[in-house]
Amino acid sequence: MTLLGMGPDGHVASLIPGATGLEAAMAADGARFCLGFDQAIGDPPRPRITLTLAALLHSQAIIILVAGPEKRRVIERALAGADLPVGALLTQSRVPVRVLWTP
């Protein structure tokens, strides 16, 4: 079981939109399970390390916790096809994903 939060930009783990090298980290069948970002990204901006999408998809189940109307809109955008890291989890069919939302 993997428990994730989601940022207001649609990132999960440290898979942050716009990061250099994000494409490699988002490869569902990629060989790497962990990836570092040397450039300062995110909020606060700093170098980060993350599990890749390939690693996350080795979970038995994924739960994404979100709170507030702003993040609910991000989930809705991702489900409608917006190119966001959380969308890659929500639209894949390998691992069951459940979104737990609270107002």
Residue 94 has pLDDT above 90, yes or no: yes
Q: Which residues contact 38 (CB under 8 A, 6 or more apart)?
A: 47
pLDDT at 37: 86
Q: How far is CA 29 from CA 23, 44, 57, 101, 102, in A?
A: 12, 30, 9, 29, 32
**What number is the average pLDDT over the span 45-51?**
91
Residue-wise pLDDT for 76-88, tens only, equals 999 999 999 999 9
Nearest by Cα to 2 from 69, 81, 97, 80 = 97
pLDDT at 45: 86
Domain ranges of the chain: 2-102
Contact 37, 20 (CB under 8 A): yes
pLDDT at 38: 82
Per the listing, tokens 């300062």 go with 40
Identify the bridge partners of residue 95 per DSSP, sorted by sequence position. Answer: none
Residue 42 has pLDDT above 90, yes or no: no
CATH number of 2-102: 3.40.50.1360
